[in-house]
A and B are shown apart, each in its own frame.
Chain A
Amino acid sequence: KNQVEQSPQSLIILEGKNCTLQCNYTVSPFSNLRWYKQDTGRGPVSLTIMTFSENTKSNGRYTATLDADTKQSSLHITASQLSDSASYICVVSCSNDYKLSFGAGTTVTVRA
């Protein structure tokens, strides 16, 4: 069964600090992996999409990494801001069909 596991479930960091979120998956065959940011009361917004051949992709202060061999991805937030407080969802696509597998998300709280 295709699964996506995220850790930690939640974390609290001080403004200006860095943090790293983890995503492990068993989806096969792999097509792409994306990280979404979901603010409270809003729909998810894509941060990055990575295919098999990509191992790093950045979007401003967000940097995602992908190790397709170990089936692991991480999302690093640099110099966190209060606006980074949100849920971050890892989503993996299977290349056999259109199906997406969703992680449960990591809730990040940035405090002043």
Chain B
Amino acid sequence: DAGVIQSPRHEVTEMGQEVTLRCKPISGHNSLFWYRQTMMRGLELLIYFNNNVPIDDSGMPEDRFSAKMPNASFSTLKIQPSEPRDSAVYFCASSLGRTEYEQYFGPGTRLTVT
């Protein structure tokens, strides 16, 4: 298995632009997690899907952030409009179930908003 796949690996954009991050979970996994990591705040859970349904988006910073999971093999995290403070590494992880199961992380997308 190729593991969790994320694209792009790096994204540089200007403030105000729309940014879309993509994730393909491991086949057969029914849970998908989006995380953000910064030096100041460490790893933060943004949103969690189970069987393609958003379970809890309480970690999403504000309305500028949205996430979708149209099918079991694809998810997107969108920021519109982007701001410099959104600069971070965004990780996607998948698992066979909820937090009692092992989570497998993707390589991350490094986002820089200038």
Interface residues, chain A, with chain B CB atoms under 8 Å away: 31-32, 41-46, 49, 89, 93-94, 97-100, 102-105
Q: Which residues of A contact B4 (CB under 8 A)?
A: 43
A46 and B42 form a contact (CB under 8 A): no
A98 and B105 form a contact (CB under 8 A): no
Q: In this complex, what residue of B is CB-closest to A89?
A: B43
A98 and B108 form a contact (CB under 8 A): no
B99 and A43 form a contact (CB under 8 A): no
Q: Which residues of A contact B55 (CB under 8 A)?
A: 98
- Encoded as 1 (CB less than 8 Å from any A CB) or 0, chain B from 29 to 68 comes to 0000000000000111100100000011000000000000
Q: Specify which of B42, B44, B102, B106 is in contact with A43 (CB 8 Å cutoff).
A: B106
User: How far is B48's CA from A8's CA once the two chains are assembled, in angstroms?
Assistant: 30
Q: Which residues of A contact B43 (CB under 8 A)?
A: 44, 89, 102
User: How far is B75's CA from A106's CA once the two chains are assembled, in angstroms?
Assistant: 31
- A42-B108, A99-B99 known; 7 new pairs, CB 8 Å cut-off, are A43-B107, A45-B105, A89-B43, A99-B45, A102-B42, A102-B43, A102-B44
What would 10 A/B residue contacts be, using CB atoms closer than 8 Å?
Answer: A42-B108, A49-B102, A89-B43, A93-B100, A97-B56, A98-B48, A98-B99, A102-B42, A102-B43, A105-B42
Q: In this complex, what residue of A is CB-closest to B110?
A: A41
Most buried by A among B43, B93, B102: B43
B91 and A100 form a contact (CB under 8 A): no
User: How far is B99's CA from A97's CA once the two chains are assembled, in angstroms?
Assistant: 8
